[in-house]
């Protein structure tokens, strides 16, 4: 058994998981439309590789780019490209951007693909390529391309693969559900990752309330007879599912600030990602669907479903019995870190783990903020051991240097401080705004530096030109003088 | 379908300022009952008078400042200040003492610094110290503990005393009031008596002073309840009790004839009230874990120093205000190590 460590702070939240984890995992039906934003994470944009009017098959690449952080987008069902147009995309700012829209034909014809019979015969590079070509990104919510994680560079030595099944956000049960229903694909996925990383240790971490998932996983680990893999139950304290927090709990090690887990030898991937890796390598199936939790008291039949990526949320909700009359807010992700959507025509993306239809009873519908009474509950709850209240004062005062001094950028925006704040101050908003101000300032400084450099170079060039010009004039003068002299001499001779 | 949006986190907040303040008031109930039991119904008159004055003063200042009145009244912070100051006053203090003290606490100490959350000094203690240095006589005239006085006062007598400063017939102030145990000890020691000799006096009980020790126990009970309810953290009270115990213990070991035992200092005067209800005022205290421990210890040590070598028999108010001054520095120098940063 592993000795578990714990991180500072965190919260025991009412998890409301029983809403969605009672119903069986089902396949969602093919939606009438599939919608794919061209903008992926952090401003990475892919280019359409199809034309409007073209027919596509399931599994066909419809968008891709050479950007190192881009992953290909595959059609999740067969149909005709209806449009490439601006639509609302799932983004905290509620922005619109170009999307590929497929009108599905219901035939669900797939490209014929084949996986490898034995992944052990594959070298790591080809496994990474298969993972990249399958469009696999982290399914825990961050959507970072998995193939890049698998290649942390020669200076980092990995020793542990950590499968994150902690799923600490309230309401969300998609990972739990996946582990209960497909433990084999998760664990074989882990074996593939172990093989491609050349490491000998895999820890699958799940929360201690996931009894059935634990039983299924341990059973399959025993059947696989793979001593490299162990399954551990960790206490359900939010945000245990945060990568750095989970690594601390399981290994006792802290990922350095500004660093990545690979710096301390750990690779952490979501259990859903491992399952997608299995599908890609062993079945040759690109990532076109995932388990999504549809839950909250705002939807009639909360449940988990295999949903095709690109499915509009309205259709998904319809398949779950529709909204109840009390629905108040639509959230993509969990109630702690997810973002509210302005419209249910928005489609799910690879990072979508949960659609939460909240009622006024479940969610915070806005409380009057009071003055901070410096109770320190925020600091007590902070999993990163920040002083949220000092950060609040400094970000409110626009004192960005002080914010940095108090480690603003170590804030993971988990929301613990805000939930416990008796004054109901929207703390996380202050931090987000301060962060964006710091970034904007840095960008401006960079711009100014570039402009200065350009100006200096311009002056330098001008000075050089001037010097060259003077030199040319001097040479010309000299040459002229020579000619004159020669002429004079000639004249002298002839005279 | 369209939805309204908001930023995460979306879950309901688990606490509120009103709840925090309300629980503090509830936790004070045992102490108030004990005070009434030993010092008479004047305590209740003081409390009611203080609360009414505080609410009126708070409303007026908020109106003048152009702030929403109801939102701030509802937070109950003014009520807490009022109750804390009222129970620190002698149970027969004239009405104008209570009223001026509260006005000073709310208007000057709280709102002139920006209101709830912005005041650097504990308003109740500022009010108390203001009264103590301005009106020392009524502020040190504690009624005799029940059973020790030469006469018993009924409600009407007390009301007459408080509102009209009219003493019942056949009585004088000396008959009604009595030195507090801390005061008595100080006087006796100055008369070259030993601690043991001093403590044989009538005002002393099992732990500290008759009546006072029970009041202290009641505050301790309320304070422990606040900890259970997670309204206050253990760091400040434990720091304070530790501070006072260590310094009084050392002195007691050095010379038991000259210095009272730690248990006396813990259960006499306002130690327990200070430890659980005054020093723990979040607005004016240090906020980091280490900072709070140091803050509490600092108050404990200061209380002892002022009691033993200073000019006042009880010293919680002065010590708290001095520590308030140090709170920002304590916070600054006790920043915790952030996750992922090296020590």
Which string of DSSP letters, residue by residue, matches B32-91? HHHHHHHH-THHHHHHHHHHHHHHHHHHHHHHHHT--HHHHHHT-HHHHHHHHHHHHS-T
CB contact under 8 A, A410 and B341: yes
3-class secondary structure, A78? coil
CA within 13 Å, CB half, B248: 26
| Range scoring the smallest mean pLDDT among A101-110, B197-206, B246-255 | B197-206
Task: Tell me which chain B residues have a C-beta less than 8 angstroms from the C-beta of A92.
Answer: 7
CA A157 to chain centre: 23
Residue B205 has pLDDT above 80, yes or no: no
Measured N-to-C along each axis, helices A174-181 and A183-197 cross at an angle, to the nearest 10 degrees, of 90
- Split at pLDDT 50, 70, 90, the class of A201 is very high
The pLDDT of residue A260 is above 80: yes
CB-CB neighbors (< 8 A) of A420 in chain B: 13-15
Number of CB pairs, chain A paired with chain B, less than 8 A apart: 178
A113-139 burial code (b ≥16 CB/10 A, e <16): eeebeebeebeeeebbebbbbbbbbbb
d(CA A228, CA A270): 18
How far apart (Å, rounded) are the C-alpha atoms in residues A325 and B65?
A: 43
Across the beta sheet with A229-234, what order do the strands follow? A229-234, A202-207, A160-165, A266-270
Q: Is beta strand A354-359 parallel, antiparallel or unpaired with respect to A289-295?
A: parallel
Cα separation, A434 vs B276, in Å, equals 36
Record: contact A371-B117, CB cut-off 8 A = yes
| Nearest by CB: B282 against A341, A356, A376 | A376
pLDDT of residue B168 exceeding 80: no
Q: What is the pLDDT of residue B191?
A: 80
Say if residues A231 and A222 touch (Cβ distance below 8 Å).
no
Task: Indicate whether B216 pLDDT > 80.
Answer: yes
Q: Least CA distance to A257: which residue of chain B?
A: B340
Determine the average pLDDT of the residues in B62-73.
Answer: 91
pLDDT of residue B298: 97
Mean pLDDT in residue range B10-29 = 94
Give the residue from B287, B227, B65, B12 showing the smallest Cα distance to A380. B287
How far away is chain B from the Cα of A370, in angstroms, using its nearest Cα? 8
Residue B339: predicted pLDDT: 93
User: Inter-chain contact B338–A407, Cβ cutoff 8 Å?
Assistant: yes
Residues of B in contact with A364 (CB under 8 A): 6, 9-13
pLDDT at residue number B167: 78
Question: What φ, ψ does residue A455 adopt, rounded to 5°?
Answer: -65, -45
Q: Is the pLDDT of residue B147 over 80?
A: no
Q: Which residues of A touch B10 (CB under 8 A)?
A: 329, 331, 335-336, 338, 340, 356, 358, 363-364
- Answer yes or no: do B9 and A418 touch at CB < 8 A: yes
How far, in Å, CA of A214 to CA of A292, rounded?
Answer: 20
CB contact under 8 A, A371 and B7: no
Judged against a pLDDT cut of 70, whether residue B343 lies above it is answered with no
Average pLDDT (A238-245) is 93
Contacts of B309 (CB under 8 A, 6+ apart): none
Please report, rounded to a whole number, the percentage of residues in chain B having pLDDT higher than 90.
66
Q: How far is A415 from chain B (nearest CA, A)?
A: 5
Chain A residue with minimum CA distance to B336:
A385
Helix, strand, or coil here: A294?
strand
Of A255, A370, A420, the CB nearest to B17: A370
Q: What is the pLDDT of residue A48?
A: 93
Name the residue of chain A whose CA is nearest to B335's CA. Answer: A387
pLDDT on residue A495: 58
Q: For an interface test with B, which of A341, A365, A387 has the most B Cβ atoms less than 10 Å from its Cβ? A: A387
Supply the pLDDT for residue A376.
92
| CA-wise closest residue to A250 among A142, A265, B282, A470 | A265
Chain B: nearest CA to A100, how far in angstroms?
21
Across B304-330, average pLDDT: 92
* B interface residues, A as partner, C-beta within 8 Å: 1-17, 19-20, 71, 75, 77, 115-118, 233, 282-283, 285, 287-289, 292, 331, 335-342
Distance, CA of B206 to CA of B210 (rounded, Å):
7
* CA–CA distance, A410 with A259 (Å, rounded to integer): 11
H or E element in which residue A430 lies: helix A427-494
Structural contact between residues A106 and A58, judged by C-beta atoms closer than 8 angstroms: no
Mean pLDDT calculated for residue range B68-92: 93
Structure confidence at residue A494 as a pLDDT band (50, 70, 90)? low
pLDDT of B219 above 90: yes
Band (B150; pLDDT cuts 50, 70, 90): low
Maximum separation of any 2 CA atoms in chain A, in Å: 121
Q: In chain A, which residues have their Cβ closer than 8 Å to the Cβ of B13?
A: 364, 367, 418-422, 424
Residues in chain B within 8 Å Cβ distance of A344: 1, 3
pLDDT given at position A114: 85
- CB nearest A335 (choices: B2, B11, B336): B11
For A188-213, what is the mean pLDDT?
A: 94
CB contact under 8 A, A329 and B19: no
Q: Which of B6, B282, B337 sits opposite A329 (nearest CB)?
A: B6
Is pLDDT at A188 greater than 90 in this prediction? Answer: yes
Sign of the C-alpha dihedral computed for residues B66, B70, B74 and B80 taken in this order: positive
Alpha-carbon distance A238 to A119, whole Å? 36
Q: Are B336 and A387 inside 8 Å of each other by CB?
A: yes
Residue A244 predicted with pLDDT over 80: yes
Chain A residue closest in CA terms to B73: A370
Residues of A in contact with B115 (CB under 8 A): 371
Confidence at residue A1, expressed as pLDDT on a 0 to 100 scale? 64
Residues of B in contact with A330 (CB under 8 A): 3
């Amino acid at each position: 058994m592993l000795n578990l460590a714990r991180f500072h702070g965190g919260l025991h939240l009412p998890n409301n998981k029983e809403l969605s984890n009672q119903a069986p995992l089902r396949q969602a039906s093919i939606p009438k439309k599939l919608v794919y934003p061209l903008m992926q994470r952090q401003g990475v944009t892919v280019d359409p590789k199809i034309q409007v009017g073209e027919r596509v098959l399931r599994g066909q690449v419809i968008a891709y780019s050479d950007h190192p952080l881009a992953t290909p987008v595959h059609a999740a069902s067969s149909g005709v490209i209806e449009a490439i147009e601006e639509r609302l995309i799932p983004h905290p700012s509620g922005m619109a951007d170009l999307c590929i829209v497929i009108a599905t034909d219901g035939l669900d014809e797939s490209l014929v693909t084949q996986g490898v019979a034995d992944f052990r015969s594959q070298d790591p590079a080809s496994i990474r390529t298969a993972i990249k070509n399958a469009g696999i990104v982290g399914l825990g919510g961050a959507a970072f391309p998995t193939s890049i994680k698998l290649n942390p560079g020669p200076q980092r030595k990995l020793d542990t693969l950590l499968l994150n099944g902690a799923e600490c956000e309230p309401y969300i049960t998609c990972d739990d559900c996946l582990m209960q229903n497909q433990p084999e694909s998760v664990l074989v996925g882990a074996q593939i990752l172990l093989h491609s990383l050349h490491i000998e240790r895999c820890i699958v971490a799940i929360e201690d309330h996931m009894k059935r998932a634990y039983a299924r996983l341990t059973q399959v680990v025993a059947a696989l007879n793979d001593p490299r893999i162990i399954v551990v139950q960790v206490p359900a304290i939010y945000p245990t599912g945060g990568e750095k927090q989970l690594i601390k709990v399981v290994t006792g090690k802290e990922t350095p600030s500004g660093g990545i887990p690979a710096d301390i030898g750990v690779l952490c991937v979501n259990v859903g990602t491992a399952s997608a890796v299995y599908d890609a390598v062993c079945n040759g199936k690109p990532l076109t669907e995932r388990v999504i939790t549809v839950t909250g008291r705002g939807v009639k039949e909360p449940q988990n479903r295999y949903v095709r990526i690109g499915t509009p949320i309205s259709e998904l909700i319809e398949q779950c019995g529709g909204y109840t009359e009390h629905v108040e807010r639509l959230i993509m992700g969990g109630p702690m870190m997810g973002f509210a959507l302005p419209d249910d025509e928005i489609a799910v993306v690879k990072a979508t783990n949960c659609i939460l239809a909240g009622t006024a009873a479940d969610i915070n519908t806005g409380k009057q903020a009071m003055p901070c009474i410096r109770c320190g509950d925020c600091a007590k709850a902070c999993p990163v051991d920040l002083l949220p209240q000092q950060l609040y004062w400094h970000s409110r005062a626009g004192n960005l240097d002080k914010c940095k001094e108090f480690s603003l950028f170590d804030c993971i925006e988990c929301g613990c401080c805000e939930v416990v704040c008796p004054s109901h101050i929207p703390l996380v908003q202050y931090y987000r705004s301060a962060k964006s101000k710091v970034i904007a300032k840095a960008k401006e400084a960079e711009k100014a530096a570039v402009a200065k450099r350009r100006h200096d170079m311009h002056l330098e060039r001008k000075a050089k030109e001037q010097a060259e010009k003077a030199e040319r004039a001097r040479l010309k003068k000299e040459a002229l003088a020579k000619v004159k002299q020669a002429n004079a001499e000639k004249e002298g001779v002839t005279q | 379908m369209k939805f309204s949006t908001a930023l995460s986190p979306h879950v309901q907040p688990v606490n509120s300022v009103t709840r925090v303040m309300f629980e503090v008031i509830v936790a004070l109930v045992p102490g108030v009952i004990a005070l009434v039991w030993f010092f008479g119904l004047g305590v209740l008159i003081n409390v009611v008078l203080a609360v009414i004055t505080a609410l009126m003063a708070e409303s007026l200042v908020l109106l003048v400042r152009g702030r929403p009145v109801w939102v701030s009244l509802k937070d109950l912070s003014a009520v807490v200040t009022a109750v804390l100051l009222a129970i620190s006053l002698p149970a027969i203090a004239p009405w104008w003492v209570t009223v001026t003290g509260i006005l000073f606490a709310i208007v000057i100490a709280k709102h002139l610094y920006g209101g709830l959350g912005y005041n650097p000094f504990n308003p109740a203690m500022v009010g108390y110290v203001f009264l103590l240095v301005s009106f020392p006589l009524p502020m040190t005239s504690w009624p005799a503990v029940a059973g020790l006085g030469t006469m018993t006062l009924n409600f009407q007598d007390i009301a007459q005393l408080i509102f009209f400063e009219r003493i019942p017939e056949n009585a004088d102030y000396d008959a009604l009031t009595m030195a507090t145990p801390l005061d008595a000890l100080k006087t006796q020691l100055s008369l070259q008596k030993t601690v043991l000799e001093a403590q044989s006096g009538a005002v002393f009980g099992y732990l500290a002073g008759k009546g006072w020790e029970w009041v202290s126990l009641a505050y301790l009970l309320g304070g422990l309840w606040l900890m259970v309810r997670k309204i206050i953290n253990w760091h400040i009270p434990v720091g304070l009790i530790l501070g006072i115990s260590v310094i009084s213990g050392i002195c007691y070991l050095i010379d038991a004839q000259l210095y009272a035992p730690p248990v006396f200092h813990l259960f006499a005067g306002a130690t327990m009230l200070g430890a659980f209800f005054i020093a723990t005022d979040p607005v004016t205290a240090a906020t980091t874990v280490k900072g709070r421990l140091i803050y509490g210890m600092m108050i404990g040590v200061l209380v002892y120093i002022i009691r033993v070598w200073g000019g006042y028999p009880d010293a919680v108010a002065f010590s708290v205000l001095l520590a308030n001054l140090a709170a920002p520095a304590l916070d600054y120098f006790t920043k915790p190590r952030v996750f992922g940063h090296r020590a």
